[in-house]
Amino acid sequence: MKRLLFILPIIAFAGLAVFLGIGLTKDPKELPSQLIDRPLPEFALPGIVEQPGSGPPELNGFASASFRGEPRLLNIWASWCAACPQEHPVLERIASEGFPVYGIAWKDKPADSRAWLARYGNPYAGVAADEQGRTAIDLGVTGVPETFIVDKKGRVRFKQIGPISPEVWEGQIKPLLQQLRAEA
């Protein structure tokens, strides 16, 4: 009987370890977003310029209402993000191929965002500041970078957690954007 009482906690611990281990083997990039096939949450964010109208038009803010009419990418990034410089050339490529890319600088100071864009280049058709992170909470952002594909009707169709690689661009995102453009 004593032996059974000694072995029972070990068996319970092993079972729990197996259960948790299975859950940890899933790729977090494959976790579904609650926003898929739903409208983009309502937001209106200021640009990263210090005074409205004092900078180039691409640095002005935007609102969720502007995500209608054509498919667009919404990229959440930050100047302090370690993976964002790796993703940035792909975003520049996406923009150069004629797909509108909008950026939200998450929990970042506008001055830091401007300096980062001056250093790496600006692929964004619009750049907004989410200094408090409230819009990112509504989007379900867990870290940066994250990218959303929004269709002509303003509905989220895809979410990429982590940097967009050239393979993800060519294999998943670009075909989806082309399909969304072709839809009537």
Q: Is residue 65 part of a domain?
A: yes
Q: Which pLDDT score is estimated for 31?
A: 53
Question: What rounded mean pLDDT belongs to the chain?
Answer: 87
Domain of residue 54, residue span: 28-182
pLDDT band of 81, cuts 50, 70, 90:
very high
In a domain, 15, yes or no: no
pLDDT tens for each residue of 109-157: 999 999 999 999 999 999 999 999 999 999 999 999 999 999 999 999 9
- pLDDT, residue 16, reads 66
Q: By three-state DSSP, how is residue 77 classified? A: strand
Identify whether 20 is part of a domain. Answer: no
Structure tokens at 95: 């923009």
Confidence (pLDDT) at 35: 86
- Count CB neighbours of 59 within 10 A: 20
The pLDDT score that the predictor gives to residue 72 is 96
Give domain status of residue 168, yes or no.
Answer: yes
Does residue 22 lie in a domain region? no
Total domains in the fold of the chain:
1
Give the pLDDT confidence score for residue 59 in this predicted structure: 72
Both tokens of residue 149?
């594909």
CATH code of 72's domain = 3.40.30.10
Question: Is residue 170 assigned to a domain?
Answer: yes
pLDDT tens digits for range 130-140: 999 999 999 99
Strand order in the sheet with 146-150: 126-130, 101-106, 72-77, 146-150, 156-161
What pLDDT, on the 0 to 100 scale, is given for residue 27? 46
pLDDT value of position 34: 82
- pLDDT number for residue 10: 72
User: How far is it, in rounded angstroms, from Cα 27 to Cα 123?
Assistant: 28
Query: Phi/psi of residue 112, each to 5°?
Result: -70, -40
Is 53 a member of any domain? yes
**Residue 48 resides in a domain:** yes
Per-residue tokens: 130? 């989410």
Distance between CA 159 and CA 157 in Å, rounded?
7
* pLDDT surpasses 90 at 89: yes
- Summarised one tens digit per residue, pLDDT across range 16-60 is 666 666 655 544 445 567 889 999 999 999 999 765 555 665 577
Amino acid 90: pLDDT = 98
Instruction: Return the pLDDT at 157.
Output: 96
Q: Residue 100: what pLDDT?
A: 95
